[in-house]
């Protein structure tokens, strides 16, 4: 299985400033050369930038220190040390950068854009030439460079999707995603096929697109860590609409729906306020009168029977999504 990391701790360390130089100008016929020690270079900064070509955080190593280059030392003949090179780390859009010490969200990089600075390089030290004055013509000291900033960061990816598919294991979420979008998620006739979130995109005629997130199945007690837990729900935290998938042949669809909603609520109550509808999946397997039966069991719900096998109502699902997104 492809590695998919959506949360990781790293350390970023900016470069140390280079030391200033202590040096004196010397030439054969000039007995008294003046101080000519140059300044040290500034240490490099560490930046983070969101790039659409990245889809997860698997390219980072847990707890690794990511360092920008140190500034170089100053030299004689008033030559300043070179500035240390910056380090630019890349993350997918949707990555939150959290300062581990304060738990503060430093940045929320929701879209591709300018790099943000997460650790600033130390200033270079002044060389002894800088300290020359009328009272001290031959300063024999220079400043050391300043240390670069260092901090521990938690990178937290929350996929950017417009719609989230939520259902019990085996409800047919991934199959639906594969029918509606370009995504090719793993599909199988057993629960917990989906272990990592999948993102699919519907391209619309007007050039815009709808991003759909398919997440692992939720079971009762997921909030207590049962099944695959609920931490993957962060990937639908930002969706504008939710489609619940309930197997049309489920013995107790009302219970299934209540369970899904209550697990969402436990994770983040705001999720229950998002516009939503219920897709009754696998309608091709439903026997005579199944729609009427389910309809009576789920009064007041917005229901749509679908089949990813026969294609029943799949075009209407897209219309429904557009309507829910408003
Ligand atoms: N007959 C029929 N079978 C379906 C339909 N949709 C999905 N299935 C089957 O149901 C099984 C589960 O489908 P998945 O798409 O993997 O279900 P899921 O909800 O993503 O499951 P998890 O990832 O485990 O939560 C597979 O064997 C699918 O082929 C449908 O519309 N009709
Ligand atoms: Mg799945």
Span 144-185, pLDDT tens digits = 999 999 999 999 998 888 999 999 999 999 999 999 998 888
Nearest CA to ligand 1 atom 9: 172
Q: Rounded to whole angstroms, how far apart are CA atoms 195 and 150?
A: 34
Radius of gyration of the chain (CA): 29
Q: At what angle do helices 314-325 and 173-180 cross, to 10 degrees?
A: 90
* DSSP per-residue codes, 132-171: --SS-SS----PPPPPPPEEEEEEEE----SEEEEESTTS
State pLDDT tens for residues 193-206. 888 788 898 988 88
**What is residue 8's predicted lDDT score, i.e. its pLDDT?**
94
Ligand 1: centre distance to CA 117 (Å): 44
**Which residues is 166 bridged to in the sheet?**
244
Predicted confidence band at 238 (pLDDT cuts at 50, 70, 90)?
Answer: confident
**What is residue 2's predicted lDDT score, i.e. its pLDDT?**
45
The pTM assigned to this predicted structure is: 0.78
Q: Within 13 Å and on the Cβ side, how many CA atoms surround 260?
A: 25
CB-based neighbours (< 5 A) of ligand 2, an ion: 173-174, 193-194
**What is residue 220's predicted lDDT score, i.e. its pLDDT?**
84
Whether the per-residue pLDDT at 30 is higher than 70: the answer is: no
Domain segments of the chain as ranges: 1-157, 163-325
**What is residue 224's predicted lDDT score, i.e. its pLDDT?**
80
**What is residue 29's predicted lDDT score, i.e. its pLDDT?**
66
What mean pLDDT do residues 138-142 have? 93
**CATH class given for the domain over 163-325:** alpha beta
* Residue of 187, 216, 226, 281 best suited for mutating to test ligand 1, as the one with most atoms within 8 Å of CB: 187
Q: Rounded to whole angstroms, how far apart are CA atoms 227 and 263?
A: 12
Mean pLDDT (the chain) is 92
- Cα angle: 272, vertex 277, 281; to 5 degrees: 120
**What is residue 103's predicted lDDT score, i.e. its pLDDT?**
95
**What is residue 28's predicted lDDT score, i.e. its pLDDT?**
65
1-157 in CATH: which number? 2.70.210.12
Atom of ligand 1 nearest to the CA of 195: 23
Ligand 1 lined by 192 (C-beta under 6 Å): yes
- Which token pair is 51? 């790039």
Query: Would 1-157 and 163-325 be classified into the same CATH topology?
Result: no
Ligand 1 lined by 286 (C-beta under 6 Å): no
Whether the per-residue pLDDT at 1 is higher than 50: the answer is: no
Q: Rounded to whole angstroms, how far apart are CA atoms 307 and 163?
A: 19
Predicted confidence band at 32 (pLDDT cuts at 50, 70, 90)?
Answer: low
Whether the per-residue pLDDT at 124 is higher than 70: the answer is: yes
Dmax of the chain from CA atoms? Answer: 110
| Distances, alpha carbon 161 to alpha carbons 2, 19, 78, 137, in Å | 20, 49, 55, 66
Ligand 2: centre distance to CA 144 (Å): 57
Atom of ligand 1 nearest to the CA of 171: 19
Look at the block and give the residue holding tokens 């013995």. Answer: 251
Ligand 1: centre distance to CA 285 (Å): 12
Q: Rounded to whole angstroms, how far apart are CA atoms 238 and 93?
A: 13
Q: Rounded to whole angstroms, how far apart are CA atoms 86 and 66?
A: 11
State pLDDT tens for residues 52-62. 888 889 999 99
**What is residue 68's predicted lDDT score, i.e. its pLDDT?**
98
Whether the per-residue pLDDT at 282 is higher than 80: the answer is: yes
Whether the per-residue pLDDT at 300 is higher than 70: the answer is: yes
Ligand 1 lined by 80 (C-beta under 6 Å): no
* 232 against 108, higher pLDDT: 108
């Amino acid at each position: 299985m492809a590695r998919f990391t959506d949360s990781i701790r790293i350390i970023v360390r900016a470069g140390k400033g280079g030391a200033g130089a202590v040096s004196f100008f010397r030439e054969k016929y000039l007995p008294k050369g003046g101080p000519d020690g140059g300044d040290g270079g500034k240490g490099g900064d560490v930046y983070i930038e969101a790039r659409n070509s990245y889809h997860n955080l698997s390219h980072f190593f847990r707890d690794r220190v990511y360092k920008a280059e140190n500034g170089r030392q100053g030299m004689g003949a008033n030559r300043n040390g070179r500035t240390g090179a910056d380090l630019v780390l890349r993350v997918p859009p949707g990555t939150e950068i959290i300062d581990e010490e304060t738990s503060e969200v430093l940045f929320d990089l929701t879209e591709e854009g300018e790099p943000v600075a997460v650790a600033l390089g130390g200033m270079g030290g002044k060389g002894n030439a800088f300290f020359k004055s009328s009272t001290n013509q031959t300063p024999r000291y220079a400043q050391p460079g300043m240390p670069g900033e260092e901090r521990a960061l938690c990178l937290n990816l929350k996929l950017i999707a417009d719609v989230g598919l939520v259902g019990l294991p085996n409800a047919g979420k991934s199959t639906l995603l594969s029918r509606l979008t370009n995504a090719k998620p793993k599909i199988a006739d057993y629960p917990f096929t989906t272990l990592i979130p999948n993102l699919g995109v519907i391209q619309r005629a007007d050039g815009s697109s709808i991003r759909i997130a398919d997440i692992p199945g939720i079971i009762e007690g997921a909030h207590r860590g049962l099944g695959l837990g609920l931490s993957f729900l962060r990937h639908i935290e930002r969706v504008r609409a939710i489609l619940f998938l309930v197997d049309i042949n489920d013995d107790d669809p009302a219970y299934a729906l209540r369970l899904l909603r209550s697990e969402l609520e436990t994770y983040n109550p705001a999720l229950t306020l998002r516009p939503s509808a219920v897709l009754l999946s696998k309608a091709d397997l439903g026997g005579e009168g199944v729609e009427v039966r389910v309809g009576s069991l789920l009064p007041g719900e917005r229901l749509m029977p679908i089949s990813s096998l026969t294609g029943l109502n799949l075009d209407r699902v897209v219309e429904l999504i557009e309507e829910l997104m408003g």
